[in-house]
Amino acid sequence: MPFVNRCFEIDRADLENHTDNYAWGYSMGMDFVEKLGVPIEPPVVRLPSEPSIHAVFTSSGKSEFSPRHMRFVVDYAREMELPITGNARGNLVCSIIEDGKLTFFEVWLPVEPREGLVFAHPERAGGVRHG
């Protein structure tokens, strides 16, 4: 599945309450959705671009993923006084098997922008999720 990513979503309340609740699904960039003619209808959801903190984190071992790995992103948002405005969403980037297993994830944490803070261009973000 070269056009599809494994993705996860963590509810904002679960992030703030330090729970281990999350959901897995699949995601695809809007450029592929349009080129392949993927219908955007339930259970497919379009995720619009929104101001977010983007980060990468790792997890080791099978079934070791936890929203707690993202604590540093939530802490950073608080330190920068950026209110969290939605659910965290991300992708499994790759897994490396070397002296055990190391898996890389990327995550976007939606935040309320403030004056003077620069965000990436919205054309480079957004996509759809099925899960």
pLDDT score at 62: 62
The pair of three-digit structure tokens given for residue 61, joined into one six-digit string: 């071992």
Give the span between the Cα atoms of 78 and 44, in whole angstroms: 32
pLDDT score at 54: 92
pLDDT score at 98: 74
pLDDT above 50 (res 131): no
Confidence of residue 121 (pLDDT cuts 50, 70, 90): low
The pair of three-digit structure tokens given for residue 48, joined into one six-digit string: 């619009």
Higher per-residue pLDDT: 2 or 103: 103
61 torsion bin: left (phi>0), alpha (psi -120 to 50), beta (else): left
Note the pTM of the prediction, 2 decimals. 0.81
pLDDT above 70 (res 71): yes
* Residues above pLDDT 90, as percent of the chain: 42
Q: What is the per-residue pLDDT across 52-65, written as a single tens digit (0 to 9) for each?
A: 999 998 888 667 78
Higher per-residue pLDDT: 2 or 105: 105
Query: Would you say 6 and 92 are in contact if contact means Cβ atoms under 8 Å apart?
Result: yes
Give the span between the Cα atoms of 116 and 84, in whole angstroms: 18
Average pLDDT for 37-45: 90
Average pLDDT for 13-38: 89
